[in-house]
Structure 1
Amino acid sequence: MSTLELLRPDHAEAVLAFERANRAYFARSIPDRGDAYFAEFAARHAALLAEQAEGVCRFHVIRGADGGVVGRVNLIDLVDGSAELGYRIAESAAGRGLARAAVAEVCRLAAAAYGLTALTAATTVDNAASRAVLAHNGFRFRHECRLGGRPGLAYRRDLTDLRPSA
């Protein structure tokens, strides 16, 4: 059983371990974060928490049954009722529906708790698993794009069907 939690200061060590353990795996399908991300992780984590406190972003961790971080689902640039969705799942947890379920939960949170009306997302063309997660969760293809120099696809999800009734 996994749980979705809003990013907190005490997640730092587990998030860093997750990112380090999965760096090569992630780099096969998304642009690498670079060495500076790891070297300056403590400052980066603090900056993310500050952005979250300002209401600019919402960062989430997915904890596995053992309490370790097995994924992340983030909403960045919350502006005018919209945000950009990003997510990553550990190699050891991939292929079990975790991303699909976590994205669905974050879509519901985005509409009900964060007051958003739409989400955007992008993935590289060769990331079939990510494209499937987005399609399953109601994201619709918008246009081609570039991600870290790689060909990508951009998507959008209208959240009005998930908003609570007045």
Structure 2
Amino acid sequence: MIRLERLRPDHADALLSFERANRAYFARTIPDRGDAYFADFPARHAALLAEQEAGICHFHVILDAEGTLAGRINLLDADAGTAELGYRVGERFTGRGVAKAAVRQVCRLATDAYGLSTLTARTTLDNAASMAVLAGTGFTTVGETVVGGRPGLRYARRLT
């Protein structure tokens, strides 16, 4: 069982620890955030909160049943009823349905709380787990793309 919480200032320390602990794991299938992300994390976190306050993006942490930060899931560039879905789940939480459960929950939030009607997503071709999550939660492949210099696929899901 997981729950989503909208990103808050008090999530900063847990989020930074999560990103540091999983950096090498994430870099295997998605572009690395780079050293500046970690060095400037407080400013980056504040900027995300400002974007969220402005309604541009909707950021969430994924918590397990014990309240441990298991991942993050975001709706980026919300405009005209559409946003781009992005998520990452920590290595020790993979293979347990966390990503699928989080995507299902954020799809409900996208419709009910944020008034969105369509979500898009992208993933690299070497990220089979992410492709399976997207396919298993109602997203369909709509084309090819490049993600951080790597070949990938674009997905979309109509919510209403």
* Amino acid in structure 1 at the alignment position of 2:53: A
Which segments of 5 or more consecutive residues in structure 1 lack a partner in the other structure? 161-166
Report how many residues are paired.
160
Matched residue of 2:157: which SS? Answer: strand
Give 1:64 deviation, angstroms.
Answer: 2.0
Matched residue of 2:131: which SS? Answer: helix
Matched residue of 1:115: which SS? Answer: coil
Output the TM-score relative to the length of structure 2: 0.98
Give me the whole-angstrom Cα distance separating, in 1, the residues matched to 2:100 and 2:2. 12
Aligned ranges 1:74-113 → 2 under 5 Å: 74-113=74-113
Q: Please tell me whether residue 35 in structure 1 is matched to residue 35 in structure 2.
A: yes
Q: Give aligned-pair identity as a percent.
A: 67
Larger mean Cα displacement after TM superposition, 60-69 or 134-143: 60-69
Contact 2:2 2:101 in 1 (8 A): no
Give me the whole-angstrom Cα distance separating, in 2, the residues matched to 1:68 and 1:134. 24
Show the counterpart of 2:67. Answer: 67
Give me the whole-angstrom Cα distance separating, in 1, the residues matched to 2:51 and 2:23. 24
Give me the whole-angstrom Cα distance separating, in 1, the residues matched to 2:72 and 2:143. 25
Give me the whole-angstrom Cα distance separating, in 1, the residues matched to 2:2 and 2:81. 28
Show the counterpart of 1:126. Answer: 126
Show the counterpart of 1:21. Answer: 21
Show the counterpart of 1:56. Answer: 56
Deviations along 1:103-161, one digit per CA (max 9) or x if unpaired, are 0000011011100010000000011110010011110101110011000000000011x
Give me the whole-angstrom Cα distance separating, in 2, the residues matched to 1:114 and 1:124. 27
* Amino acid in structure 2 at the alignment position of 1:77: D
Give 1:2 deviation, angstroms.
Answer: 2.2
Give me the whole-angstrom Cα distance separating, in 2, the residues matched to 1:28 and 1:98. 19
Give me the whole-angstrom Cα distance separating, in 2, the residues matched to 1:125 and 1:41. 29
Deviations along 1:25-48, one digit per CA (max 9) or x if unpaired, are 000000000000000000000000
Output the TM-score relative to the length of structure 1: 0.95
Give 1:3 deviation, angstroms.
Answer: 1.6
CA RMSD across the alignment: 0.7
Matched residue of 2:45: which SS? Answer: helix
Matched residue of 2:78: which SS? Answer: strand
